[in-house]
A and B are shown apart, each in its own frame.
Chain A
Amino acid sequence: MRVGLIAMSGVRVRDKELAALGVTLPQFVNRGKVIATLPSLGLLTVAALTPDDVEVAYREIDELPPEGELEPFDLVGISSFTAMIEDAYLLADRYRAAGIPVVLGGLHVSLMPDEAATHADAIVVNGAEGAWPGLIEDFRAGRLRPRYDGLRAGVFEPGHYAKPRFDLLRDRPYNRITVQTSRGCPHDCEFCAASLRITSSYQQKPVDLVIEEIRTALEVKQNIFFELADDNTFVNRKWSKAFLKAVRPLGISWFTETDVSVAEDEELLDLLAESGCKQILIGLESPNANSLNGVDPRHWKRRHFDGYLGAIERIQSRGVTVNGCFVVGLDGDTETIFEKLRDFVVESKLLEVQVTVPTPFPGTPLYRRLRAEGRLLQERFWDRCTLFDVNFQPKHMSVGELEAGLRWLFSEIYTDRELARRRRHYMEIVKSKAGPKEMVAMQ
């Protein structure tokens, strides 16, 4: 039996003007390129959950034969995000028309199961843990069911956890590998369409399992950069420090996402820098305190707003860069938000900045609210869920004003001069941290 696992990731900005602008703005496209070239950790985990006597082939969508040809498999599993889901459905339809059964999974499928089911012989909702082994067994017995519900808790516990098949990446041109240490996030932001939507509570992988995964990945790819596929890594301080101490001797470079509270713990920050962490991505969301009202149910981000500038300075002074993420077009935003954000970026000396518009991913509280308020521009717009395309009516500006403001902001914060200023600031931090010999030894 041969199973084909097909990864479909990445986004394509639909706004042609913005896309054209993005081509000339390196920092704008860099993060998108990185995301698009990451292997699918979900499918590597599915591969690990597959019985040993089943042959597994991992494919990126770009590796598939041209239109008209289909690589022969006994069963196909496809995972995709919302922006690519229409393409995933087309591919699934092609395989099914050729008589090859298809299983669809991933975040979009979990949030829109009824829609996805019309393009699949079976769907997997939530994580694959607790679902995929039974699905394979049923398929072999000729009794495949239309829906399998994976676990929403206990996914890293013995009996359910499976170490991702990093060996499937051997001889492939990836320069980053993803490792997951947690699923979910306690903040539950209204617009978030990440792993918290498929978990019942924050799930933390034991440190020894994470370290073992990193060691295994290093056997496959030496000197690889690691990207933690987490939504908020450092929720649990005790776990975080144990993890950072354990990862330090491995000598790797890595990136992750977390929240601004890490800056409240000096020991954690020191460990972060010593462990090889190069950058943390933080959803700061807005330079305007009032715009943060209602972003999360407990107003956590609003309550931490006053500490933003100090937190960025404390983190970056360790040589760990902050990728500050902002959303423009929140309900508290007026047309002044663009200039305000430009000024905040300059004042904060953020080393990297990512600006997007609120995106009502289907299945999120934001989608439900905007739909109830009659503010969605279209009923179905999945291919426009790129984070840069406006799909809703903003509260205090027109759609055109939001689009124009975003373009203006990009042309202000991603200029060569601004990029040079950020580069120079980072270099001065690095130079102030250690003597030249020590800097060389850091590598």
Chain B
Amino acid sequence: MTAQERIAEASIRMTVAQFIGQDLGQVSETADFSEDLGMDSLDRLELMAAVEKEYDVTLSDQELSSVSNMRELIRALAAAPAGRPQ
């Protein structure tokens, strides 16, 4: 992972942690948004909207319904070219 990728990942982690109101260190990369972090379906969509706007990307329909933890979200965002809808 390049330095730029590590910075991007840390930034995403911080966005998610802020969104769910927890300290960065408390949010595991594999914590399930619903089961472990108590997010309902609308919470998840609000989070996706927040990261899409923050990083100027558009996640695919498949990703919107399948991303279930921070690791998967980071991967999805990393694969989405910035500034261009999928």
- On A, residues with C-beta under 8 Å from B are 30, 175, 223, 225, 253, 278-279, 321, 416, 419-420, 423-424, 426-428, 430-431, 435-436, 439-443
Q: Is there an interface contact between A439 and B45, defined as CB atoms closer than 8 Å? A: no
Contact of B49 among A30, A253, A419, A427 (CB under 8 A): A427
CA distance A175 to B40 in the complex (A): 9
Q: Is there an interface contact between A443 and B21, defined as CB atoms closer than 8 Å? A: yes
CA distance A431 to B45 in the complex (A): 10
Q: How far is the CB of B6 from chain A (nearest CB, A)?
A: 21
Contact of A431 among B19, B38, B40, B52 (CB under 8 A): B52
As a 0/1 sequence over residues 54 to 76 of chain B, the CB contacts with chain A under 8 angstroms (1 = contact) are 10000001001100000000000
Q: How far is the CB of A217 from chain B (nearest CB, A)?
A: 15
| Interface contacts beyond A426-B49, A440-B18: sample of 19 additional A-B pairs, CB < 8 Å, sorted by A | A175-B40, A253-B40, A278-B42, A321-B42, A420-B65, A423-B45, A423-B61, A423-B65, A424-B64, A426-B45, A427-B45, A427-B49, A427-B64, A428-B49, A439-B46, A439-B53, A440-B50, A442-B46, A443-B19
Q: Is there an interface contact between A279 and B50, defined as CB atoms closer than 8 Å? A: no
CA distance A420 to B41 in the complex (A): 12
As a 0/1 sequence over residues 23 to 60 of chain B, the CB contacts with chain A under 8 angstroms (1 = contact) are 00000000000000010111101101110111000000
User: Closest residue to B42 on the A side, CB-wise?
Assistant: A278
Most chain B beta-carbon contacts within 10 A, residue among A278, A427, A428: A427
Selected A-B contacts with CB under 8 Å, 7 pairs: A253-B40, A253-B43, A416-B61, A424-B61, A426-B49, A440-B15, A442-B46
Q: How far is the CB of B81 from chain A (nearest CB, A)?
A: 18
B20 within 8 A of A: yes
Q: Is there an interface contact between A430 and B61, defined as CB atoms closer than 8 Å? A: no
- Residues of B within 8 Å of A223, CB to CB, are 38
Q: How far is the CB of B71 from chain A (nearest CB, A)?
A: 20
CA distance A192 to B20 in the complex (A): 38
CA distance A30 to B61 in the complex (A): 19
- Residues of A within 8 Å of B42, CB to CB, are 278-279, 321, 426
Given A443-B18, A443-B19, are A423 and B54 neighbors across the interface (CB < 8 Å)?
A: no
User: Closest residue to B17 on the A side, CB-wise?
Assistant: A440
CA distance A426 to B49 in the complex (A): 9
CA distance A225 to B80 in the complex (A): 32
- Residues of A within 8 Å of B52, CB to CB, are 427, 431
Main secondary structure of the interface of A (DSSP, over half): helix
Report, nearest first, the 4 A-B pairs whose CB atoms are least far apart.
A420-B61, A436-B54, A427-B49, A430-B49
- Residues of A within 8 Å of B18, CB to CB, are 440-441, 443
Most chain B beta-carbon contacts within 10 A, residue among A279, A440, A441: A440
Q: Is there an interface contact between B40 and A225, defined as CB atoms closer than 8 Å? A: yes
- Residues of A within 8 Å of B53, CB to CB, are 431, 435-436, 439
Contact of B20 among A416, A419, A439, A443 (CB under 8 A): A443
CA distance A159 to B60 in the complex (A): 56
- Residues of A within 8 Å of B41, CB to CB, are 30
- Residues of B within 8 Å of A424, CB to CB, are 61, 64
Q: Is there an interface contact between A427 and B48, defined as CB atoms closer than 8 Å? A: yes
Q: How far is the CB of A154 from chain B (nearest CB, A)?
A: 36
- Residues of A within 8 Å of B21, CB to CB, are 443
Q: How far is the CB of B83 from chain A (nearest CB, A)?
A: 14
User: Closest residue to A176 on the B side, CB-wise?
Assistant: B40
Q: Is there an interface contact between B45 and A436, defined as CB atoms closer than 8 Å? A: no
Q: How far is the CB of B19 from chain A (nearest CB, A)?
A: 5
Contact of B19 among A175, A225, A253, A440 (CB under 8 A): A440
- Residues of A within 8 Å of B43, CB to CB, are 253
Q: How far is the CB of A222 from chain B (nearest CB, A)?
A: 9
CA distance A442 to B42 in the complex (A): 13
CA distance A253 to B52 in the complex (A): 22
CA distance A225 to B39 in the complex (A): 9
CA distance A435 to B65 in the complex (A): 23
Q: Is there an interface contact between A420 and B64, defined as CB atoms closer than 8 Å? A: yes
User: Closest residue to B16 on the A side, CB-wise?
Assistant: A440
Q: Is there an interface contact between A423 and B20, defined as CB atoms closer than 8 Å? A: no
- Residues of B within 8 Å of A426, CB to CB, are 42, 45, 49
- Residues of B within 8 Å of A253, CB to CB, are 40, 43
Q: How far is the CB of A41 from chain B (nearest CB, A)?
A: 20
- Residues of B within 8 Å of A30, CB to CB, are 41
- Residues of A within 8 Å of B49, CB to CB, are 426-428, 430-431, 439
CA distance A6 to B37 in the complex (A): 30
- Residues of A within 8 Å of B20, CB to CB, are 443
Q: Is there an interface contact between B54 and A430, defined as CB atoms closer than 8 Å? A: no
